[in-house]
Amino acid sequence: MSNADIVWHDAAVSQTERERKNNHSAFVLWFTGLSGSGKSTLANAIDRYFHDHGYRSYVLDGDNVRHGLNNDLGFSEEDRVENIRRISEVARLFVDAGHIVSTAFISPYADDRARARERLPDGRFIEVFVDCPLETCEARDPKGLYKKARSGEIPSFTGISAPYEAPVDPDITLQTGTRSTEENVHELVEQLEDLLRPS
Ligand SMILES: Nc1ncnc2c1ncn2[C@@H]1O[C@H](COP(=O)(O)OS(=O)(=O)O)[C@@H](OP(=O)(O)O)[C@H]1O
Ligand SMILES: Nc1ncnc2c1ncn2[C@@H]1O[C@H](COP(=O)(O)OP(=O)(O)O)[C@@H](O)[C@H]1O
């Protein structure tokens, strides 16, 4: 069956109605950065803040999604593109359902992040650059992957033997080499003030 045979079915309950009931906007916080830069740490810290303050929210994390939905994908350029395409579709569904979704994927290619932005309603895709020098990420090496990448045990490792295209004009930049998680969460809450206000 081709896509031409599939007809979009409008939902009985709109995103706007869900947002009104939740009393806040639905949007995606798209964290991007090198492995070990702090994407998961920050996505979970801000999610804790959202949850504790009555927002409906959820985290989509690279490691976890790759265990399930995307367990057929590796780290070739083609697979990473498909990984991000699927994640952005899932993120869109969460926004449709009225949630604030924080995604924590390296998402190394600028074009893929741009496509993800295009899939979301205007102003509902917030690109957050988790900015941390490669040397710091490598010194942290929380999973021992940089060591393996340097020894050649892991091929095509982002930042070492595969590219990372840093955002040129991100909506928000958080430095994790010099600022604590608490400081960065505070910064995020300030920058998101308009979206977090009751709708
Ligand atoms: N070759 C290679 N390159 C980069 N990362 C690797 C690789 N192999 C395994 N890992 C682990 O997988 C996590 C990255 O998955 P992502 O889905 O975020 O990657 S991507 O967006 O598709 O590039 C990444 O997680 P984070 O460290 O949380 O970023 C790594 O733990
Ligand atoms: N300021 C900071 N912000 C975020 N993570 C930090 C910071 N300082 C140290 N870390 C540590 O760096 C590591 C980042 O790992 P993680 O959040 O899994 O990154 P990523 O998801 O980008 O791979 C964690 O062990 C975290 O405790």
Residuewise pLDDT in 10s, the chain (199 residues): 567 888 878 889 999 999 999 999 999 999 999 999 999 999 999 999 999 999 999 999 987 899 999 999 999 999 999 999 999 999 999 999 999 999 999 999 999 999 999 999 999 999 999 999 999 999 999 999 999 999 999 999 999 999 999 999 999 999 999 999 999 999 999 999 999 988 7
Q: Does the C-beta of 28 come closer than 6 Å to ligand 1?
A: no
Structural domain includes residue 11: no
What is the complex's ipTM, to 2 decimals? 0.99
* b/e burial code for range 18-33 (CB count within 10 A of at least 16 → b): bbeebebbbbbbbbbb
Catalytic residues: 107
CB 37 within 8 A of CB 113: no
Q: Does the C-beta of 108 come closer than 6 Å to ligand 2?
A: no
CATH code, domain with 130: 3.40.50.300
Other beta carbons within 10 Å of 96: 16
CA of 62 relative to ligand 1 center, distance in Å: 7
CA of 123 relative to ligand 1 center, distance in Å: 27
Residue 162 structure tokens:
């595969």
Query: How many independent structural domains does the chain possess?
Result: 1
Structural domain includes residue 117: yes
Structural domain includes residue 8: no
Residue 33 marked as a ligand binder: yes
Structural domain includes residue 98: yes
Domain range for residue 60? Answer: 16-192
How far is it, in rounded angstroms, from Cα 177 to Cα 41?
Answer: 13
